[in-house]
Amino acid sequence: MAAHDGLAPAHDVIEAALKASRAMGCVVIVEETSDAEVRFANNTMTTNGQRRSRRVTVVSVRDVSGGVASGVASRDGAFDVVDLVREAEVSAGSSTPSSDAADLVGGPVASDFAEPAHETSLAIFDHIVHDLGGAFDRAEHAKSTLAGFVSHSLRTTYLGSSSGLRRRFVQPTGSFEMMSRAAGSASAWTGVGTPDFVGVSVGGFEEELSRRLAWAKRTIEVEAGRYDVVLPPTAVGDLMAFLYFYCGGQDAEDGKTVFSKAGGKTRVGEQLAALPFELRSDPREQGIECAPFLAISSSSPVASVFDNGIELGLTKWFDHGRLNALQYHRAGAARSRVDFAGPIDNLALELPGARGSASDLVATTERGLLLTCLWYTRVVDPATLLLTGLTRDGVYVIEDGKIVGATNNFRFNQSPVDLLANAAEAGMTVRTLSREFGDEFNRMAMPPLRVHDFNMSTVSPAN
Amino acid sequence: MAFSTETIDPGAVTAIQDAALEAARRRGASDASVRVEEIRTQQVSLRDGDLESTVDDAQIGVGIRVVHEGSMGFAASVDLKLSGIPRLVDQAIDAAILTATARRRNFEQANEPSHGVIDWSSQYEIDPSVISLADKVAHLSHWSDRLLGAPGISHVSALVHSVTEVKYYADMAGTVATQRRVRIQPVVEAVSLDADGAFETMRTLAPPAGRGWEYVNGVGWDWEGELALMPERLIEKLRAPSVEPGRYDLVIDPTNLWLTIHESIGHATELDRAMGYEAAYAGTSFATFDQLGRLKYGSSVMNVTGDRTVEHGLATVAIDDEGVAAQSFDLIREGVLVGYQLDRSAAAIAGYERSNGCAFADSPLHVPIQRMANVSLQPAPGEGPTTADLIAGVEHGIFIEGDKSWSIDMQRYNFQFTGQRFYRIEGGRLAGQLRDVAYQATTTEFWGSMEAVGGRSTYLLNGAFNCGKAQPGQVASVSHGAPSALMRGVNVLNARAEGGR
């Protein structure tokens, strides 16, 4: 397979690589990705694209002085896979012993392993593109402007190991986002994550955005301060994403995170939320299903290339409001005498038994703010996981259970750990799309929350 | 210097380019460009001296952009098989046709002449991809061990990230370019814990650079000097008093100021943003196009340029990804907004005759969009003040070095930045470190408070590998030159107090 001979079937590439391997262990991952997307702004279509890519990763495992080492090499495109195997072997041979070393994962041969990769195209959201034309005309007439993005991707992951394991998984990922800015200045955004665009319509989005822009006909100035706020599921997702990104067990033991305890310990077992929240990842979570096995091309503090192919199952990060688990690869988990907990590509927060939407939480709020979107959120202080960020595209004032107008944007400084601690009420968990992280982390299910003492640090003049 | 990673045969590239442009003409495209790229990315990370992870990645692919009956279409693949190229062109044309059903304005581009055949390379001595993994690990081990051996250092992480890329570009106008670029970012961070579990971190201030492995060996940065001082500086930081919030005069080192320039000037002067083409995602800009030539951006000592030509710049090229020659241009002159960063589409919409060459695609599989030039704040003319001179002009203030946390709103008004090191200034002299400092301001208020900029001796080219924009997301590298600067009366917060502690 030279550079220009096209792409051989993925399972053949894996068998060829495993056959060529001279190391004591070898794992090969092929990810075939097919993408289609269109973008729009200022009431017209802007950029678009259709793409096909293939990434091949070879992990080679060798004995080295003092232990076992891994070597990894990845290529996107059509490369000589035997060269790639040799490169991974050289890399392993010149490495120091890996602190994340573990036996390669064994297991069954998937019956669909030799099935071809799935391909998508712009045709999957043809109806959305078609309806956008009419929406642009209506917006132009109303002197408002629409902007947004529609994308779909199908990724077929194949994983084979010298231990005999053969696994395959097809991951659909899609999203549709739209924002509207009214003639004056008010704006609103809505978005959805979807595997297939079934039930997703431009008309539904136009209605939701019109409803919010109507709230903004009255504007009320609000000063910086601590407020009761209602966060819709998308904004809860933006903040919970950080809990998930910073839940490494080793980092906590090293004293570097909000989950650290003095003396090289962690806060696992501590009651961090007043309400009995469950924060979990589960490859089988309905509506946000994701790969049930690990397939990674480089090790990190929480995941090891040695663990490739391992089964991933329901993991409760928070259980009954208690911190229940942090992420560890197998070697780290063994050292720390805890259970393995690998990275899973979805996240759900739920208050068992909770019902109702953000609107229902607004109805039970005497005085407060309804946020819609959070943006440019970054960690300020890892010791408390203090985040800073801004509100955008709609902050609304709640009085006596009703929305009475829109207000200015704020810069907030807030920790998601405190957010859970200060949550007074939650609604029903629904699939949502994080405004800021949805492109990278598409699969989330979150409830709306009502939270006390949310810290609006300053007013932002942006609108 | 030999380029180790070229696995694409230049003859095959020419055949692909010819096939793509020919197929585009046959399908009636009024314009087309094709990029074949090979991008080699390597990263080696050590944790407490042990190898934690390696990345050794290479991407090869081809991307084709067409303009067909007033619509733009893009298609790309990692499959370079020559017989598949016409099908890829068909996909790009199909994308143009599909989106035409909802298009309400034609896709137009400012003109750019042919630049003929270009063969260009960035300035570097040693391609990092030829350095063996063992040598890289040895170098990072040496750095880690010298810090781990110092009293009070609890943990050390060290990594080096490098990219070696070759980009082959051809368009219908007749420009055919081969461009090779190398960049590198070594980072060392130390952590110190006290007995109560409190901790502080400190990271090297060395910027990422458009240089090769020689940078790690000390060409362009004094690594040994910086690492030697890090332990005592970190211990001092851990023991430093927490800042009293309030208004302070700030002297800001270029290692911190570059990021404020990036966020509050670099992104705000992107014309696609200012005109609303990033409204749903990255955002817009307070510096709207109708204010060109009038907007008072900052004080009269503020002069900012955009350029894609500076040596070792991360956004430096010969031509951009729309075939536009690299240029240097003014964005802010004596505090007034006088220019924007452009691609050919934004230039055409705004009525400019020509783009200033800011189109970039981060991969052969992504469509080129307007991305940031090296946007730099100019130092004072002549000798100008030193950083010590600026500090001497402050009675009661803070000197800030190194970037850390950053956040700015979607119109680039309200920002909040922290840093690596903060020193109290009392009576014109440094008086020990502070901790928990965050400065928060509105862009024009902040730049309006700039009383003085340092001279050429204070000037440093900083930058980032990880500037994100657009959907699907694209990541670009960009450099920002800056002198030290003196700001009067900036709002400083205490980050701990903000967190309710």
pLDDT in tens, B8-66: 888 999 999 999 999 999 999 999 999 999 999 999 999 999 999 999 999 999 999 99
Q: Treating both helix axes as pointing N-terminal to C-terminal, what angle do A126-141 and A202-215 enclose, rounded to 10 degrees?
A: 30
**Percent of chain B surpassing pLDDT 90:** 96
Q: In this structure, what token pair is assigned to residue B412?
A: 């680039």
The reply to whether A270 touches chain B by the CB within 8 Å rule is: no
Per-residue burial over B190-229, b if 16 or more Cβ lie within 10 Å, else e, is bbbbeeeeebbbbbbbbbbbbbbbebbeeebbebeeebee
Q: Of B457, B455, B458, B476, whose CA–CA distance to B467 is shortest?
A: B476
Query: Which chain A residues are Cβ-neighbours of B9 within 8 angstroms?
Result: 3-4
One-letter amino acid of A285: E
The reply to whether A389 touches chain B by the CB within 8 Å rule is: yes
Question: In whole numbers, what is the pLDDT of chain B averaged over residues?
Answer: 96
- Closest partner CB to B277 (pick from A42, A69, A72): A42
**What is the predicted ipTM?**
0.95
The reply to whether A141 touches chain B by the CB within 8 Å rule is: no
- Closest partner CB to A51 (pick from B365, B369, B413): B365
In eight-state DSSP terms, residue B262 is I
> Quick one: pLDDT at residue B1?
31
Q: In this structure, what token pair is assigned to residue B442?
A: 């509105």
Question: Which residue's entry shows tokens 């009995």?
Answer: A276
CB contact under 8 A, A136 and B414: no
For residue B3, is pLDDT > 50? no
Residues 30-59 of A with CB under 8 A from B: 35, 37-54
- Predicted confidence (pLDDT) per residue in B307-354, tens digit: 999 999 999 999 999 999 999 999 999 999 999 999 999 999 999 999
- Closest partner CB to A76 (pick from B72, B78, B191): B78
Query: What distance in Å separates the CA atoms of residue A399 and residue A397, rounded to the nearest whole number?
Result: 7
Q: How far is CA A328 from CA A249, A313, A331, B252, in A?
A: 6, 14, 8, 40
Q: Work out the angle at residue B267's Cα, subtended by the Cα atoms of residues B266 and B271, and round it to the nearest 5 degrees.
A: 105
Q: At B111, is the pLDDT very low, low, confident or very high (cuts 50, 70, 90)? A: very high
3-state secondary structure at position B67: strand
> Which chain A residue's Cα is nearest to B273?
A41
CB contact under 8 A, B195 and A254: no
Q: Of B227, B235, B150, whose CA–CA distance to B192 is shortest?
A: B235
First to last CA, chain B: 55
Cis ω before B128 (30° cut-off from 0): no
Q: At B195, is the pLDDT very low, low, confident or very high (cuts 50, 70, 90)? A: confident
- Closest partner CB to B7 (pick from A3, A297, A298): A3
Q: How far is CA A350 from CA A277, A317, B292, in A?
A: 6, 12, 50
Query: What distance in Å separates the CA atoms of residue A447 and residue A415, rounded to the nearest whole number?
Result: 18
Per-residue burial over A309-348, b if 16 or more Cβ lie within 10 Å, else e, is bbebeebbbbeebbbbbbbbbbbbbeebebebbbbbbbbb
Query: Which chain A residues are Cβ-neighbours of B105 within 8 angstroms?
Result: 42, 44
> Which chain B residue's Cα is nearest to A132?
B102
Query: Which chain B residues are Cβ-neighbours of A206 within 8 angstroms?
Result: none
- pTM to 2 decimals? 0.96
Query: Which chain A residues are Cβ-neighbours of B98 within 8 angstroms?
Result: 38, 48, 122-123, 126, 129
> Quick one: pLDDT at residue A59?
98
Backbone φ, ψ for residue B487 (5° rounding): -110, 140
Q: Which residues have CB under 8 Å from B222's CB, separation 6+?
A: none
> Quick one: pLDDT at residue B197?
81
> Which chain A residue's Cα is nearest to B197?
A262
Taking the CA of residue A120 and the nearest CA in chain B, the distance in Å comes to 12
> Which chain A residue's Cα is nearest to B13?
A4
In eight-state DSSP terms, residue B152 is T
Query: What distance in Å separates the CA atoms of residue B176 and residue B168, rounded to the nearest whole number?
Result: 7
Query: What distance in Å separates the CA atoms of residue A216 and residue A189, rounded to the nearest whole number?
Result: 13
Query: Which chain B residues are Cβ-neighbours of A49 within 8 angstroms?
Result: 74-76, 95, 365-367, 472
CB contact under 8 A, A133 and B418: no
CB contact under 8 A, A461 and B442: yes
- Closest partner CB to B473 (pick from A43, A439, A459): A439
Query: What distance in Å separates the CA atoms of residue B425 and residue B433, rounded to the nearest whole number?
Result: 9
A44-64/A67-76 β-pairing:
antiparallel
> Quick one: pLDDT at residue A183?
82
Element (H, E) at A302: none
Q: Which residues have CB under 8 Å from B453's CB, separation 6+?
A: B301, B302, B377, B378, B379, B380, B384, B483, B484, B485, B486
Q: How far is CA B321 from CA A371, B25, B33, B273, in A?
A: 39, 20, 9, 19
Taking the CA of residue A399 and the nearest CA in chain B, the distance in Å comes to 26
B71-77/B414-426 β-pairing:
unpaired
Q: Please identify every stretch of chain A with a pLDDT value under 70, giving residue numbers as ranges.
A: 1-6, 184
3-state secondary structure at position B197: coil
Query: Which chain A residues are Cβ-neighbours of B102 within 8 angstroms?
Result: 40, 44-45, 129-130, 132-133, 136
CB contact under 8 A, B77 and A52: yes
Q: Which residues have CB under 8 Å from B473's CB, separation 6+?
A: A439, A440
First to last CA, chain A: 54
